[in-house]
């Protein structure tokens, strides 16, 4: 998928199983929305093929659309329309819609049902968008950044709802740049960066990946030349060293005392003074860092 000469999504290959939650995880600008919109039939891929529920989302869009629910990243409603009026309208376009009052209560929209869309908070607009995606009882929902702008409480509620939706046999594909969201919700995670798939798997597969712990080392002065290679040599096989910037490194390796000891010894031997040395279980954030050398959070 390219815009002008800028390629947004390239060589992306992923599959989604029915009745599961799949997260497309990546930083802002990674190509998550482009990927989703290609599956929704808004865009036609310049190369390769996309099949959603066995249909070509661009050429067979009219057949596909009644079967899927779509939540856009933003907007999607008239500025003067009342929240429930909008939800009832989308419900009226479907053959067997859900009870909109039930959805309203489940998503905590009871207080703002008569509020014009433009006066809803960002989180309320997101929840209304999610309700609009679900109201037609789709087989598959695409949700673009479902919890962006939500407070922690609303985020929990949304997660629980998405889990229930999956339990009832609906396939969920969501994008997020929150690794905790992907870790908590997803059966399958696809990490993409700059339009390319860099890792796929269950959250457990991705975070264990042969290593069980990560050490984040931040030092007081810039590392000497060749530091990551020299540290990797000291640590030996089975560990991975990634330099993040001139004063920090990420070390992934077995969770035993040896790794930590070797790192401390290496610091002393190279006249490097640690400012902080953090040991933790490897998270998706660390996976992303190790693979791209950049932070995920956006």
Partner 1 sequence: MSTPTGTFAPAPGGATLSRQVAAQARMEARLMLRNGEQLLLAIVIPVIVLVGGVLAADRVGLDLDGHRAVDVLAPGVLALAVMSTAFTSIAIATGFERRYGVIKRLGASPLPRSGLLLGKVLALLNVVALQLVVLVVAGLLLGWRPTLDHPPTSIAAAVLAVAAGTWAFASLGLFVAGLLRAEATLALANLVYLLLMAGGGVVLPTSSYGAASAVIQWLPSAALGDAMRAALVDARLDASALAVLVVWGVLGTVLTARTFRWE
One-character DSSP codes across 58-84: TTTHHHHGGGEEEE-SS--S-TTSBHH
Q: Please, what sign has the CA dihedral across residues 8, 158, 201, 13?
A: negative
Contact 31, 9 (CB under 8 A): yes
- Identify which range of 26-34, 95-103, 193-201, 219-227 contacts partner 1 by CB under 8 A: 95-103
In the list 48, 92, 153, 226, the residue contacting partner 1 (rule: CB under 8 A) is 92
Region of 255 (left: φ > 0; alpha: ψ -120 to 50; beta: rest) is beta
Contact 166, 18 (CB under 8 A): no
Q: Residue 133 or residue 296: which is nearer to partner 1 going by CB? A: 133
Residue 77 Cβ vs partner 1, minimum distance, rounded to whole Å: 6
Q: Is 56 in the site for partner 1 (CB under 8 A)?
A: no
Q: Is 151 in the site for partner 1 (CB under 8 A)?
A: no
Best CA proximity match to 189, nearest among 170, 208, 167: 208
Q: Is 94 in the site for partner 1 (CB under 8 A)?
A: yes
Q: Is 132 in the site for partner 1 (CB under 8 A)?
A: yes
Q: Residue 141 or residue 287: which is nearer to partner 1 going by CB? A: 141
Q: What whole-number distance in Å separates Cα of residue 272 and Cα of residue 221?
A: 7
Query: Residues binding partner 1: what is the number (CB under 8 A)?
Result: 41
Q: Is 89 in the site for partner 1 (CB under 8 A)?
A: yes
Residue written as tokens 């998270």?
283
Q: Site residues (CB under 8 A) for partner 1?
A: 19, 40-42, 62, 65-68, 70, 72, 74-81, 85, 89-90, 92-96, 98, 102, 132, 134, 136-139, 164-165, 167-170
């Amino acid at each position: 998928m390219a815009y002008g000469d800028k390629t947004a999504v390239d060589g992306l290959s992923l599959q989604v199983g029915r009745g599961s939650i799949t997260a497309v995880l990546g930083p802002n600008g990674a190509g998550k929305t482009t990927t989703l919109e290609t599956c929704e039939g808004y865009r036609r891929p310049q190369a390769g093929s996309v099949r959603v529920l066995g249909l070509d989302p661009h050429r067979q869009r009219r057949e596909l659309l009644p079967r899927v629910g779509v939540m856009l990243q933003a907007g999607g409603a008239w500025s003067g329309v009342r929240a429930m009026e909008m939800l009832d309208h989308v419900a009226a376009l479907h053959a067997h819609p859900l009870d909109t009052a039930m959805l309203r209560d489940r998503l905590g929209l009871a207080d703002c049902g008569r509020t014009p869309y433009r006066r809803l908070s960002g989180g309320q607009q997101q929840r209304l968008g999610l309700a609009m995606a679900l109201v037609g009882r789709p087989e598959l929902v695409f949700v673009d950044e479902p919890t962006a702008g939500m407070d922690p409480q609303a985020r929990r509620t949304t997660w629980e709802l998405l889990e229930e939706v999956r339990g009832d046999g609906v396939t969920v594909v969501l994008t997020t740049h929150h690794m905790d969201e992907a870790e908590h919700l997803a059966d399958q995670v696809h990490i993409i960066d700059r339009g390319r798939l860099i890792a796929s798997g269950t959250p457990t597969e991705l975070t264990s990946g042969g290593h069980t712990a990560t050490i984040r080392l931040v030092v007081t002065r810039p590392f000497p030349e060749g530091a990551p290679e020299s540290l990797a040599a000291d640590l030996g096989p089975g560990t991975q060293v990634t330099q993040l910037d001139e004063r920090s490194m990420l070390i992934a390796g077995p969770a035993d005392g040896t790794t930590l000891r070797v790192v401390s010894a290496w610091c002393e031997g190279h006249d490097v003074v640690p400012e902080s040395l953090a040991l933790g279980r490897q998270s998706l954030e660390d996976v992303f860092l190790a693979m791209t050398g950049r932070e995920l959070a956006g």
